[in-house]
Structure 1
Amino acid sequence: MDSDRKVLLAGATGYLGSYILAELINRNCFVKTVVRNTDKLPKGISDLPLLQVKTAEVTKPETLSGICDNIDTVISTIGITKQRDGLTYQDVDYQANLNLLNEAKKAGVRKFIYVAVLNGEQFSDLKICQAKEAFVKELMASGLEYCIVRPNGFFSDMTEIFKMAQRGKVYVFGNGEQKANPIHGADLAKACVDQLESTDKELEIGGPETFTHNEIAHLAFKAVGKKPRITHVPDWARKLSLKLSKLVMSKSQFGPIEFFLNVMAVDMVAPAYGTQTLEAFFEDLNKQ
């Protein structure tokens, strides 16, 4: 791949976006990043000859005028896990991406790659998934070539389990036999950038290894060098927590809790990809 491929990357300062930026640079692509705060980019990166940094706010369409000019493909990882500044999932996961899509259509962009979530359609009653899937429908109807990337969870999402292991006890829902194969950001970034040349319309993707939640907890305890202590939280307690949280929390606080408590109760297994292991990720966390 060479610099003839011109990519706009939205979300370059986030967990996945930072890996995608590195992968694009590694493949010698021209990259234009749209960021709200340039200080969050790696130091010195804006001096690279094939990188152009544009400051804009994707939630404010007036700041995006012309952002997609001379761009071949847009990659968006735009979305929020913790709602701040009074913004909602509808404001960011839906409307901000729609603002980008509208600019892409105006500029004659060929393709739009969007990172959604595995089984998003099945979780359509959750606010975050409602917003993401609403944008997916807009993208599919846009007339642009597109690819919807659906990862099942990042290694970074497993950090909370690692932290619990550090404290000496890990809590899992039900019997802990729900399965998942989370993926490292670097592996997922490679798959996303591969879509520049692919004709895939949708890509469900997970990491190379599938674990039960109990097994993930054991890996975390192994990394911290502590005897495993796992507490199984009954499913009725999970459901009660959902109801109580909805009553006492603001919508912005409840959104991430709602998603977590629902996703952790089911299997989240996607086709395997990548080489990086969760055990190595936990070992790296333990060295920090």
Structure 2
Amino acid sequence: MRIVVIGGTGLIGSRVVSLLTEHGHEAVPASPSSGVNTVTGEGVKEVLEGADVVVDVSNSPSFADDDDVMAFFRAATTNLTEAAKGAGVGHFVALSVIGSDRLPESGYLRAKVAQEELIKGSGLPYSIVRATQFFEFVGAIADGGTEGNVVKLPDAGIQPIAASEVSGAVAKVAAGSPLGGMTEIGGPEVFTMESWVREALTFRNDPREVTVDPEARYFGEKPGPKGLLPDEGAQLGQIKFADWLPANPPRK
């Protein structure tokens, strides 16, 4: 099959392309660097010509402004679904976030819900893969909550997963028949956000103190104990965080 991967040069997309190629598919990475801009529509129709499947693992270039994030996902998804229908694409796959519909105070997660709704309403056969937070972003979460030498985090449960396992799940769905709905994937272990970040910082000899702050937010929201956790029956990865850490030093 010819499978176009939007965001195909990023953390998830590059691995999806590699996995699909290894299994004999023609996987085409598409991103602004390859002349495909889903927000403006530049190159979208051209790259989808002859495609059997389109996979969207792209993300907003900015998280600072809620309106910008919403504008990105609305424009990108509208352009992609319209072009996919025109090209006769038989399967639209998108990566989304577990808990999006439970946390409406988060502008980012509201935008992900809007993306999902546009896909569902497009008339295209589709599959949505909702994932928990990636191991790879533990450092960014710590940095985002840092004030001085203290990391302040919300009292929240989290079930993070290795990006490689998310990529594997997305690639598997892309190579299969449309689900006509959603599937969820999470990591094998449940942490509090505080304990997860503390484990990472301790392993990396980072001296910052990690605390729970009742007023701290995550993407603008207070997730609570279960807001970010997958529902019962979700697919669970096998890579444990303690095994992932030694092979993944923080990026410079």
Q: Establish whether TM, by shorter chain, passes 0.5.
A: yes
> In structure 1, how many angstroms separate the alpha carbons of the residues matched to 2:245 and 2:150?
16
Tell me which residue corresponds to 2:158: 180
Aligned pairs for 1:55-204 within 5 A: 55-80=35-60, 82-83=62-63, 88-160=68-140, 170-173=151-154, 176=155, 178-195=156-173, 196-200=175-179, 201-204=181-184
Distance 1:209 1:83 in 2: 27
CA distance in 2, matches of 1:62, 1:275: 39
Q: Which residue of 2 aligns with 1:260?
A: 219
Unaligned runs of 5+ in 2: none
Instruction: Count matched residues.
Output: 241
Q: TM-score, normalised by structure 2?
A: 0.82
Q: Distance in 2 between matches of 1:29 and 1:109?
A: 15
> Residue in 1 aligned with 2:27?
31
For 1:58 and 1:287, the matched residues in 2 are separated by 31
Name the counterpart of 2:6: 10
Deviation (angstroms), 1:125? 4.1
Aligned to 1:42: none
Aligned match for 2:194, one of 199, 214, 229 = 214
Instruction: Report the CA distance shift for 1:10/1:224 in structure 2 as closer, same or farther (over 3 A).
Output: same
Identity of aligned residues (%): 20
Amino acid at match of 2:192: T
Name the SS for the 1:238 alignment partner. Answer: coil
**Which range moves more in the overlay, 64-73 or 208-217?**
208-217
CA distance, structure 1, for counterparts of residue 235 and residue 118 of structure 2: 28
Structure 1 residue 60, shift from structure 2 partner? 1.4
Q: What TM-score does the superposition give when structure 1 sets the normalisation length?
A: 0.73
User: CA, structure 1 residues 230+56, in 2 after alignment: closer, same or farther (shift >3 Å)?
Assistant: closer
Amino acid at match of 1:96: A
**Partner SS state of residue 32, structure 1:** strand
Instruction: Quote how far apart the aligned CAs of 1:221 are.
Output: 4.1
Structure 1 pair 264–158 and aligned structure 2 pair: CA distance change class (3 A) = farther
In structure 2, C-alpha distance between the alignment counterparts of 1:211 and 1:22, rounded to whole Å? 31
Larger radius of gyration: 1
Any idea what the Cα deviations from partners look like across 1:58-93, whole Å, max 9, x if unmatched?
Answer: 111243233211111110012216259xx9223321
Could you tell me which runs of 5 or more consecutive residues in structure 1 were left unpaired when the two chains were aligned: 39-54, 240-258
Structure richer in helix, relative to its length: 1
Q: Aligned partners of 2:153 and 2:106: how far apart in 1?
A: 21
Q: Deviations over 1:101-126 (max 9, x none)?
A: 11100011000001121121223343
For the residue of structure 2 that corresponds to 1:153, the secondary structure is coil
Assess, with a 3 A threshold, how the Cα gap between structure 1 residues 74 and 207 changes in structure 2: closer, same or farther: same
- Name 1:19's counterpart in structure 2: 15
Displacement of 1:285 in angstroms is 3.6
